Amino acid sequence: MKQEIRICGFGGQGVVLAGHVLGKAAAAYDGLTAILTQSYGPEARGGAARTEVVISDRSIGYPRIVSADVLVAMSQEAFHKFREDIREHGIVIVDPDLVIDHQVERKTYRVPATRIAEELGNKITANVVMVGALTSITEVVTRDAMMQSVLETVPARFKDLNRRALEAGFRAGEEARSVEATLALTGE
Amino acid sequence: MDTNLVRQVLGQKVQFIHGDMACVYGALLAGCNFFAGYPITPATEVAEGMSELLPKLGGRYIQMEDEIASMGAIIGASWTGAKAMTSTSGPGFSLMQENIGYAVMSEAPCVIVNVQRSGPSTGQPTLPAQGDMMQARWGTHGDHEIIMLYPYSVQEALEMTITAFNLAEKYRTPVLLFIDAELGHMQEKVVIPEDDEFEVCYRQTVTVSKEEYQAFRPGNNAHPDRLVPEFAPFGSGYRTYVTGLTHNEAGLPRTNSPEIHDRMIRRLCEKILANRADMTFFKESYADDCDIALVAYGITARACEDAVAEARERGIKVGMLRLITIWPFPEDLIQQWARKVRLMVVPEMNLGQMIHPIREAVAGQCRVVPLNKIGGEVHTPGEILEGMVRAIEREREREPAAA
Amino acid sequence: MIKDAETLRNKYLRDAMFPTIFCDGCGIGNVLQYTLWAIDNLGLDMDRTVFVSGIGCSSRLPGYIKADGLHTTHGRALAFATGVKVANPDLTVIVFTGDGDCAGIGGNHFIHAIRRNIDITVIAVNNFTYGMTGGQVAPTTPIGSITTTTPYGSAEPPFDMSEMAKVIGAPYVARWPVTYPYQPIKSIEAGVQKRGFAFVELFAPCPTAYGRRNKLRNIEQAWQWYRDHVILLDDYERIQRFGSAEEKRSLVGKLKIGVFQDVEKRSFTDALEEQIASLRVDKPEPERQAA
């Protein structure tokens, strides 16, 4: 098993943190191997941000992803930039409110992470909602591992908020999965 | 420093951190209690990590006005007995060179982390390259030996930083710890070791009376053959005079004596060269079942591991030698490999640096082919495999009769 | 109490280092004597005092003193000294530097050491030239001076190190020519006692490298030059305020001497130690709460 996951959006959305909790869930709590790489530089503030996580049940040599198995896009710009670079059997997870045009010939899951986060009271947790959805859609890591990873990463006073965000994300992922399955059946 | 306290400050035993932070963890576990540095991409996170964690352990962090000052400050701290470190990248490493020579000359233990980025000059600040390999060896002026370690994973960065401190202490010399910009910012699992999983060394403290003490006399009464002098920190009453000038065993300048200079410099080199066995780290795979070798170091070696796996599947008998100790250069090791393979492929993220000492050691026993890549991207496994296959084909064309 | 040179020498200096490298008429020997005198007056523990220097004639001074000494690289004495003091704040750190070492190659370290207000004492020997390399123009060389690299006279205006130290905010700054024996001793004492950055600049003649090209080869001429060219800070300010036009004209080319600054200011070393004490995890619980 080797999964190459690219999470992208714009600066300030906590894209790298999303990658970090994902990699940590896999490496520290699920007994898998994970590597996170990131783009870095003046573009780290605002503009496009991205992080890439490779997860495997074996050791990982080359640290970069070659082509994405999973693309998580949280901005239109990022989606356009990376939609060409997805494996044939790869999938796409988008926040449909931010990535309005998300036409791509890949299985696509729509997770309104920012809206869900806002409903929970703080849109800063959209990234955590998104990794929750990613977890239940891909099952690349277990929910327990992801929960531990998130709670070990965020400051104590934000633990509760993030727990709720992650649980909402798990549910949103399930919903997106069933919607996608229905769409597939109806041939859309 | 109490390693239990260090572990308490570091937090969970298993973490997902980047290579820069792994250097911080390693340093603290090794007992580092002084850090001076200057911000520079992609090494800044080492300084940031130190500034956060050192004070909690009672250590001292200071941001200096430049890298020259950082290097000076860690040597000053080292002479008070501190375990001292700085971190930087290419441009800062260039600025440190003169004072690195001072640390060699004055036998001040210290560790310099260089998170290698692309150059020359400002180059590509955020991107990896391996262009400082020869600067590490010969960057400061004059005859000298230097120890340089080059880990390739986050876990190994932690472990090798501990080793770097241990070697610095044992041999009273600056030790360079290189990681690639790629590793510096790459996150990976790290397991914080328990006390029985690593060693922490300290410089040999003084065993003689103040009257008998000579700061730069190698060995001591119990071990007169040792090449490293005993250490009395500033403030201990031993009243040591330290100079970058050629000095005698008492530490006093003797700049016009050819004999004293010759004796001193040869000892400084010999204390490292005579202990190669203690400081030569490497990893081999398929060492006894190969006729082609990949010789690599740092992040490049990770792509090589994938390439080797793929090549073996295709029936190419390739083995791999990964150098962790870069300097002193492990000539014997290269010679052993040269005797058993017909081709050595050397991928480097530069236009050919380590290939020179490799060729010198191989001395024509097998062909040595460079596989260079610059521009700020790590070789992909595919590129390495392709380059290797090309080298094999060229090798066949060259020796049709023998084949 | 008068201290004779021999007593000081036997008590504080390394026999094995004699004779010194200093030329006849050089003022660095005076600087050493005044320093030892001040140290003796203060009763400094020489087991706990570290002398740090850079490169140049004056930077050779730590070698002569029986104490821990760190003779470092050119211009970097303050960087090394910062490492010593921060790593072990219990040590007394005294830096010997020259004008080239301090204001030239080491200028950046100089301003930042003052900015931090690290608790060290800097004794800067100003002889207006790079003496050890044979007398080249320095950042302190008076305009018009002949040196080996300004054979037609220096066209560069010089730095005033003490004024600089003062404006950057060093809590203690004083300047004297070595021709005044008493004041330098008192200033070195005050500097060492100051918790924070203390800067004592001493004008010292260099007959060999600077003097002989500027009609100051003879030691009497050199000492007379200082008498003619220095003016006490108080006198300078009085004339600036109340003097006649003629008196004001006489100030041109004069070098101010005296105590430029003497204020109390929290030292970097103290601030850092306090911060560390409040952050340490191994601190006993009640104490941590108190902090």
CB B326 within 8 A of CB B136: yes
Please give the span between the terminal C-alpha atoms of chain B, in angstroms, as a whole number. Answer: 61
The contacts of residue A145 (CB under 8 Å, 6+ apart) are A25, A26, A28, A29, A30
The contacts of residue B310 (CB under 8 Å, 6+ apart) are B381, B385
Query: C76: which 2 tokens?
Result: 């970097």
Q: Which domain does B96 fall in, by range?
A: 3-197
pTM, entire model: 0.96
Secondary structure letter of residue C260 according to DSSP: E
Q: Do chains A and C touch (3 or more CB pairs under 8 A)?
A: no
Would you kindly state where each structural domain of chain A is located, as residue ranges?
2-186
Chain C nearest CA to B114, separation (Å)? 20
Number of domains forming the structure of chain B: 2
The beta-carbon neighbor of B34 closest among C50, C69, C87 is C87
Q: Which of the listed residues B197, B223, B248 is the one where a domain comes to its end?
A: B197
Task: Tell me the three state secondary structure of residue B77.
Answer: helix
pLDDT for position C259 = 98
CB contact residues (below 8 A), chain B span 6-45, against chain C? 8-9, 33-34, 36
Average pLDDT over residues B376-398: 95
The conformational region for residue C29 under phi > 0 = left, psi -120 to 50 = alpha, else beta, is alpha
Number of domains forming the structure of chain C: 1
Q: Do chains C and B touch (3 or more CB pairs under 8 A)?
A: yes
Cα angle value C72/C76/C78 (rounded, 5°): 105
The beta-carbon neighbor of A35 closest among B126, B188, B303 is B188
Whether residues B34 and C272 touch (CB distance < 8 A) is answered with no
Determine, yes or no, domain membership for B204.
Answer: no
Query: A64: which 2 tokens?
Result: 């970069």
Cα angle value B397/B400/B403 (rounded, 5°): 115
- B142 and chain C in contact, CB less than 8 A: no
Determine, yes or no, domain membership for C277.
Answer: no
Per DSSP, the residues of B339-389 read: HH-SEEEEEESSSSSTHHHHHHHHTTSSEEEEEE--SS-PPPHHHHHHHHH
The sign one gets for the Cα dihedral B115, B116, B120, B123 is negative
Does the pLDDT at position B283 exceed 50? yes
Q: What are phi and psi of C160, to 5 degrees?
A: -110, 100
Whether residues B68 and C79 touch (CB distance < 8 A) is answered with yes
CB B32 within 8 A of CB B6: no
pLDDT tens, B311-355? 999 999 999 999 999 999 999 999 999 999 999 999 999 999 999
CB-based burial of residue C244 (10 Å sphere; 0-12 exposed, 13-18 middle, 19+ buried)?
exposed
Residues B163, B295, single domain; the answer is no
The answer to whether the bond into B42 is cis (omega within 30° of 0) is yes
The beta-carbon neighbor of A37 closest among B42, B186, B306 is B186
In a mutational test of the B interface, the residue from A15, A35, A62, A67 whose CB has the highest number of chain B CBs within 10 Å is A62
- What ipTM did this prediction achieve? 0.97
The contacts of residue B68 (CB under 8 Å, 6+ apart) are B95, B96, B98, B99, C76, C79
Instruction: Per residue of chain C (291 residues), give pLDDT as tens.
Output: 678 888 999 999 999 999 999 999 999 999 999 999 999 999 999 999 999 999 999 999 999 999 999 999 999 999 999 999 999 999 999 999 999 999 999 999 999 999 999 999 999 999 999 999 999 999 999 999 999 999 999 999 999 999 999 999 999 999 999 999 999 999 999 999 999 999 999 999 999 999 999 999 999 999 999 999 999 999 999 999 999 999 999 999 999 999 999 999 999 999 999 999 999 998 755 544 443
Find the closest chain C residue to B52 by CA distance.
C279
pLDDT tens, A121-148? 999 999 999 999 999 999 999 999 999 9
User: Which CATH number is A2-186's, of 3.40.50.2000, 3.20.20.80, 1.10.10.10, 3.40.920.10?
Assistant: 3.40.920.10
The beta-carbon neighbor of B302 closest among A38, A41, A61 is A61
Bridge partners, residue C120, by sequence:
none
Determine, yes or no, domain membership for C161.
Answer: yes
CATH of the domain at C143: 3.40.50.970
Determine, yes or no, domain membership for B89.
Answer: yes
Q: Which of the listed residues B141, B166, B197 is the one where a domain comes to its end?
A: B197
Find the closest chain B residue to A37 by CA distance.
B186
What's the rounded Cα separation, in Å, for the pair A40 and B186? Answer: 11
Q: Do chains A and B touch (3 or more CB pairs under 8 A)?
A: yes
CB A146 within 8 A of CB A32: no
Residues B138, B19, single domain; the answer is yes
The beta-carbon neighbor of A40 closest among B14, B42, B380 is B42
Residues B186, B293, single domain; the answer is no
Determine, yes or no, domain membership for B403.
Answer: no
Determine, yes or no, domain membership for B207.
Answer: no
